[in-house]
Amino acid sequence: MFGKWKKVEEQEVKIELPEESYALLKWKENDLPCIAMLNSALKKFTHKEIFAWHLTVTIEFEELIDNGMPSIEEREIVDPFGDKLENEIKAGGNALFLIRETWNGTRCLVWRVYDPGIANQHLEYLANNFQYPRQFNWHMSHDPEWGKAKWYFEQLET
């Protein structure tokens, strides 16, 4: 208490978000195919620490065809919901889209998030007000080193 107090001011940082660029990834997990679209532009994104939260939204398909994949009719129901989520989660530059995976009766949508409270509040609103065509859940964890995204980027090299 004898020292001088300094007022610390927040600095506003402006960054240019990378234009999304997609790479198709395919692999097998538990003998079932997984098909994914990765935003490969994020591999070289230099401000990763700003988007330190890893958000995964998992949507459960109802109508499946072979190998746990959704029917065309099911995709026509789920895809617009996924597009809506993407626009809402990314609103105001709060998130960067990372990947969309389809595997074993599910669709996982993954973002890197700046403010987790904004994204979580929005998802809670959708869930609490039944604003979804299929059951979904989400998980968000602090991942400032982007460790959860690393595996996807490594697949671009193979």
**135 has a pLDDT exceeding 50:** yes
Domains of the chain: 22-155 (3.30.70)
How high is the pLDDT of residue 11? Answer: 65
Q: Which residue has the tokens 């697949």?
A: 155
pLDDT band at residue 16 under the 50/70/90 scheme: confident
Q: What local confidence, expressed as pLDDT, does residue 14 receive?
A: 77
- Mean pLDDT computed over every residue of the chain: 92
Q: What share of the chain is helix, strand, coil (3-state, %, to 5)?
A: 35, 30, 35
Residues 21-26: contacts with CB under 8 Å, at least 24 apart: 23/156, 25/99, 25/152, 25/155, 25/156
Q: Do residues 156 and 23 make contact, with C-beta atoms less than 8 angstroms apart?
A: yes
Look up the pTM and report it. Answer: 0.89
Average pLDDT over residues 3-8: 47
Which band of pLDDT confidence, cut at 50, 70 and 90, is reported for residue 3? very low
Which whole number is the average pLDDT over 85-110? 97
> What is the DSSP code string of 20-50?
P-EEEEEEEETTEEEEEEEEGGGGG-S-GGG
Residue type, 61: F
